[in-house]
Amino acid sequence: MKKTITSFKLQNFKVCHYLRFILILVPLLSNSELLAQDEDKYTYRIKKTKEAIKLDGDLNEIAWQNAQEAKDFFLVRPFDTSFASLQTVVRMTFDDNFLYVGAVCFEPRKLYTMQSLRRDFDGGTSDIVTINIDTFKDRVNGFHFAINPFNVQREGLISMGEDLSNVWDNKWYSQVKNYDDRWVVEVAIPFKTLRYKIAEGENSWHINFGRNVMQTNEVSVWKPVPRNFRPHNLAFAGNLIWDENPPKAGTNIALIPYISGGYAQDFPRKAEDLSKLPSTNTFTGAVGMDAKVAVTPSLNLDLTINPDFSQVEVDRQVTNLSRFELFFPERRQFFIENSDLFSTFGFPDTRPFFSRRIGITRNPNTGLNQQVPILAGARLSGKLNDNWRVGFLNMQTRKVKLGDNEFLPNANYTVATLQRKVFERSFIGGIFANKENFLGGLSETQRAGYRQFNRVAGLEFNYYSKDNRGEAETYYHQSFYPNAPKDAASLAQYVGYHHPNIDLNFALQRIGKNYVADIGFVPRRGIVQTFRPMSLILNPKNEKTAKYINSFGINFEGNDVFDIAGLYDAPLRGLVEKTIGGKRLDSETSLSLFLNTPAGGEAYMGHNWVFTHLFFPFEPTNSGDSPNPDLQNAAELPIGDYKWRFWSVGFETSQRNDWSGSLDFNYGGYFTGRGSFTEGSVSYRWQPYGTISLDLAYTRFNFDKPLNSVRFLLLGPRAELSFSRSVFFSTFFQYNTQTNNVNINSRLQWRYKPVSDFFLVYTDNYFAEAIPRYGVSAWMPKNRALILKMTYWLNI
């Protein structure tokens, strides 16, 4: 194979001149045509009620009759040029304890579509009415509440303008009454649930309401939002003016104790030859508590003692062909609320703080991550006023004894952040992240491989234009640790322009070869990389065509990675190659055509060009990580340059039908071999009881000997069922031949009181395939566990 090398002195690149140019350019890209609308038209004046509101879905109190109407909802999708055919009328009022929202949602009963009776359903799966509230008027952070025609609730937090997380859990109340041509919802949100400040004089918030009607493909909002943005985007929210100031929230303390017990059975085997070791049976039990304390109406303190995350859903497995660490999202409730204050610093592939590092420690003797128990923790997060946000997190883990003379030390994790709002909806932020290992009392041998501390400090500037079309991010992070050499920093610049017909993005990032973030996510170091995605989006003008095609266009995506260090340092391999700095390491470019339908379906076809320089020998199928000892010494590709191409095609059907699915197929080269990667899913909605689905990933690559040719199969049947609005059952089966593992995870949840739950969780792991040479048969057990847990939400 002919090798091409692009080399230049990127380590001498003067980033400051580029940053100055970008910061001047971005505001010029902003477009404010949508913001010239009459503000009075989208201003809601809320009046206080003097009579009690009975939550029954009737809206027959005098307060509702006297309340202003928010009506004439405008479409976001499939088109943003007309009013919705199925309209919504919203009214609001409040008293000393609750913010009330009443909505009349016009929709024939026969059109009702919903995923299940389970709370916190996925977006785009159910008919809903939504309430999006920005209490601090920064147009970046807010609260999201959604209800479907069967009175199933979903609540979430909005960050970064339109990023929505529905893992947040809190108390609020609703009732729905159904009619042949409409459904009426009545909502009571406790002021204690919200975070806000009371200003002197007139008080105002930002607010918007939305509707999603699946069968007619209509997504609509009260204050118009362009269709290239999500309907809950806070940049386009209207005004909420208080006739009287909202009440002071008062004392708000919630204690959430838990008790759990379980049984675990383990069938261990030696790593070298898979020979059996004695099985173990363990009974476990634990008690602990979480607490939520409203320090002020806008500042919340979360405390946890001996936390337990046994009810958290397992990660979805993926076929791993990467040379670098994969990212899996945080699922633990304690780390979710206001998580954007901690987890969004940096770029997605370079975070100074990644909360999943807490409770896991890398064992320097094996190079593997091992779980360690968390003793206690505290998190303070929220607003100091309209302009300042603050976050502080501190967690302590326990020392773990592994053997006669081997320990995982106890450690303390601290993260502090501060954000200052600038301009209309932009902010400057700072972060300090620290991991401190307590090595006292350990011998020199036991301390080997552990840093006493690792710290990262950084500053960021995030710019969002008023109309959300212009966007930019600039950051600089510096790491500190004992005997840290030079080049221990990371810096980057991103700029984006988002127009309904064109989407342009460019980013440049530099990660020093000695930049270390022990509680962050940094899979690569010693590089400069660029990102350059862009899209051209067209909309058919012909009415007949528009019935079938909502939009179509061209996507051009790519990224390039260059060496700046002149040295390649692979974990656990040591220094394996020395070259001139500026060498191209990786490059991927894709060109694709796409088409979207009014019903929400989409299809694409593309071609991809890939270049990779291997700076250490690599087994391209990752068979070396297999538990089968026969595969652990697989042949590897040598150091060098590799180029290949492949085709990709895929589609996704509309979610409005009972049956839905998706398919992605890639075929072509892969390093020196050829093959295909197929990924698909099919789902059946059994309304209103739940969904049954099947995920599939099949990988086939052929290589000349002595390299391994592989066939990997990953199957993931899944069922999520709801027997009522308070009893839910889910089971997830994952059959993975790459890791030779079968995992079963089942969970029964009973919400016996608001935000109070009983969980019964069963998990089981088996060998997926037989390894006759070592006496392993298919479906031979590895381990299993049964856990019971009960939580109770107690307001004080």
375: pLDDT strictly greater than 60: yes
Measure the CA–CA gap between 556 and 535, rounded to whole angstroms.
6
Predicted confidence at residue 508, as pLDDT, reads 97
Summarised one tens digit per residue, pLDDT across range 409-429 is 899 999 999 999 999 889 999
- Indicate the SS3 state at residue 234: helix
Torsion of CA 335, 336, 341, 344, to 10 degrees: 100
22: pLDDT strictly greater than 50: no
Measure the CA–CA gap between 691 and 655, rounded to whole angstroms.
12
**Residues making up the chain, counted from first to last:** 796
Select, from the ranges 75-79, 198-202, 528-532, the one with the highest average predicted confidence (pLDDT): 528-532
More confident residue, 677 or 772: 677
Predicted confidence at residue 635, as pLDDT, reads 83
Q: Specify burial of residue 202 (Cβ count, 10 A radius: 0-12, 13-18, 19+).
A: exposed
CB within 8 Å of 521: residues ≥ 6 apart: 325, 327, 349, 350, 351, 354, 357
The residue to which tokens 């040379």 are assigned: 323
Give the rounded percent of residues in the chain with a pLDDT score beyond 70: 91
Measure the CA–CA gap between 414 and 395, rounded to whole angstroms.
7
CB–CB of 199/208 below 8 Å? no
Nearest to 197 by CA among 462, 464, 389, 68: 389
Predicted confidence at residue 263, as pLDDT, reads 96
Strands 756-766 and 781-791: antiparallel
Give the rounded percent of residues in the chain with a pLDDT score beyond 90: 64
Average per-residue pLDDT in the chain?
Answer: 88
Helical ranges in 33-116 per DSSP H: 62-66
pTM of the model: 0.85
Q: What is the amino acid identity at position 583?
A: K
What is the arithmetic mean of pLDDT over 58-64? Answer: 95
Predicted confidence at residue 321, as pLDDT, reads 85
CB within 8 Å of 646: residues ≥ 6 apart: 607, 608, 610, 666, 667, 668, 669, 670
Summarised one tens digit per residue, pLDDT across range 449-463 is 888 999 999 999 999
CB–CB of 223/238 below 8 Å? yes
The two tokens of residue 686 are 């059994």
611: pLDDT strictly greater than 70: yes
CB within 8 Å of 539: residues ≥ 6 apart: 79, 500, 501, 546, 550, 551
The two tokens of residue 432 are 């300090």
What is the arithmetic mean of pLDDT over 648-655? Answer: 95
334: pLDDT strictly greater than 60: yes
What is the arithmetic mean of pLDDT over 502-514? Answer: 96
More confident residue, 3 or 32: 32
What is the arithmetic mean of pLDDT over 367-373? Answer: 83
Strands 43-48 and 238-242: parallel
Summarised one tens digit per residue, pLDDT across range 692-708 is 999 999 999 999 988 88
Instruction: Report the range of poorest mean pLDDT among 306-310, 345-349, 675-679.
Output: 306-310
CB within 8 Å of 356: residues ≥ 6 apart: 328, 330
Predicted confidence at residue 52, as pLDDT, reads 93
The two tokens of residue 323 are 């040379």
Summarised one tens digit per residue, pLDDT across range 759-794 is 999 999 999 998 888 888 899 999 999 999 999 999
Summarised one tens digit per residue, pLDDT across range 520-567 is 999 999 999 999 999 999 999 888 888 899 999 999 999 999 998 654
Q: Which of the four pLDDT bands, split at 50, 70 and 90, describes residue 229?
A: very high
CB–CB of 340/330 below 8 Å? no
The two tokens of residue 301 are 């303190």
Nearest to 227 by CA among 484, 491, 598, 528: 598
Q: Which of the four pLDDT bands, split at 50, 70 and 90, describes residue 633?
A: low
What is the arithmetic mean of pLDDT over 28-52? Answer: 71
571: pLDDT strictly greater than 50: no
Summarised one tens digit per residue, pLDDT across range 124-171 is 889 999 999 999 898 988 999 999 999 999 999 998 888 888 878 888
Measure the CA–CA gap between 460 and 170, rounded to whole angstroms.
31
> In 10 A of CB 595, how many CB atoms?
16
State phi, psi for 56 to the nearest 5 degrees. -140, 0
Q: Which of the four pLDDT bands, split at 50, 70 and 90, describes residue 651?
A: very high
Predicted confidence at residue 331, as pLDDT, reads 77
More confident residue, 445 or 526: 526
Instruction: Report the range of poorest mean pLDDT among 95-99, 173-177, 368-372, 390-394.
Output: 368-372
Summarised one tens digit per residue, pLDDT across range 246-270 is 998 667 899 999 999 999 999 888 7
CA distances from 741 to 18, 31, 367, 503, 744 (A): 49, 52, 21, 42, 10
More confident residue, 25 or 508: 508
Furthest CA-CA distance within the chain: 82
Of all helices (H) and strands (E), which one includes residue 29? helix 15-29
More confident residue, 360 or 38: 360
13: pLDDT strictly greater than 50: no
